[in-house]
Structure 1
Amino acid sequence: MSIVDRVPVVLRSRRQQRLKHVIASEFLKARTLRSQWLLWSSAVAGGLVGTVAALLFARILTSLGEGIPAGEVDMLIVRAPISGAATVALFLGFAAIHLSANERSTGRERLTDLTVPATGKTFVARLTVTALGAATVSMITFVSACILVLVASELSGHSVEVGLLDQVLAVGATTLAMTLVAVFAAGIGLCVRHGVVAAGVFVSIMVVLPAILGTIGATSRNDLYAWVASQMPAGRVGAVLEATVAGDLLGTVSACCMLIVWATFSVVLAYWCWHAESGHQAQREPAAGDRK
């Protein structure tokens, strides 16, 4: 029997791969890509740089002494661990797009489809790896930021009493928000074939469009534009940060629920595009075989 005769047997055996095997394969791919590690590391570095900047600003205000409102320095120190959350969200979004759209933009997606013909498993695996990677990076970033703030406060002698439960809830809520943003970005990457275009769409939704709506709302004095901007992913991330600092549990849950809606919408749209493209390829392959 030649190697050509054995190919269908190999493909049939690979069709029996379980979801955990596909997830392990996607995780291995993400772990071995230097560019993926670069994006994740940039997210960590961006979060810590934001924390350091907040601590330096608090130090400057402390050195000024008189004329500083009471409690403003304390609030800066409390907010310091999450001061770089916006940068973390952007880099995690870029990492999610790179992980979800990289193969499609380079054409290596066909090799993955040959190895795992059940493309639905590949879809779920990429979302799973994206969510786990974003959650891990976020947790490392914000826990490290909390430790950095604690050490800096002890060295400067200006410590702020924050309950352990409040810190855990703040880190958990912020990590959840960052993970949902990454899933939202992964959905965009799975919808759009080219990674650069997907990144452009992500930046437009996260940064450009809210800025435009906010500017229109401020110039026209119409609160509707500002409200729409606040309900977009970037606005909801900001609401999560503000609510966690204020200890507003209801506000935190409300903002996270809206992020879940955005992430769900992105994933559903991505699955529809993914399924439609898979069906189109399945129809095109028999047609090509008939022409032969």
Structure 2
Amino acid sequence: MKLLNRVVQLICYVFLLISSEAFSQQIKGIVKNDINQPLESVYVYNLSSKAHAHTSESGVFILEKTKTGDSLKIGLLGYQTKIIKLTPDYNLDNVEIILQEKIFKLDEMIVEEQVNALSTISRLDLSTNPVNSSQDVLRKVPGLFIGQHAGGGKAEQIFLRGFDIDHGTDISISVDGMPVNMVSHAHGQGYADLHFLIPETVNKIDFGKGPYYAKEGDFTTAGYVDFSTKDYLKNSEVTFGVGQFNTFRTLGMIDLLGNEKIRMLLLQLNI
């Protein structure tokens, strides 16, 4: 009987230990500056468990393996590093941290090339010269021409550097790293139909002319075009357009993450 009681006590102890670990191993919070703006890419480091996390574009973070009593180190370039101890006064489901700005030192900076000015079409170019269709974004590449023969319903004809590329045979096209060219198609090897791409979602266009880019694949005979789409929407948008021959176009883009409470909810649900 005594042995049975000891076994029951041991099982209860293990259960309580596991339960306490399960319910105290995660905190959620937000990092802001002194004017209440959320800060992105702030690192949050647990000095006790060595766990770490980074804030999203809305300043929100979720840090695992963290409980009351642990110390957190929070830092971002241009802001003073802060160390806080999670006392019982903190609500671990909604920790708010304020960082103060500072003058950063030169040795804190790492300068590297992010945009190739000679081959990248930026968001400014797309804003000042908007496009009307997804295939029209190809016209942004200098020296590239497209045409639609025998009516719509298929990818446009592409011309670049003296090549009649047909519908994509001699040009490598990708969207966010995803290849658009179809390696096998009845209309021609490398067939690339961009009509699935919404032009308003394009953030920048990277391109190169000539067969000099081995990493872009074996379709890069005349060149390559790589589209990068936006990570998020600044505002919701609904547009209507009409044209000749009874054509019309509608577009709806909804910013579901604009509300801070919705962002927090989606992050907690891992969506």
Instruction: Select the structure of larger CA radius of gyration.
Output: 2
Question: Which band: TM-score by shorter chain?
Answer: under 0.3
Structure having the larger proportion of residues in strand: 2
TM-score (norm 1): 0.20
TM-score (norm 2): 0.21
Structure of higher RCO (CA pairs closer than 8 Å, 6+ residues apart): 1
Structure having the larger proportion of residues in helix: 1
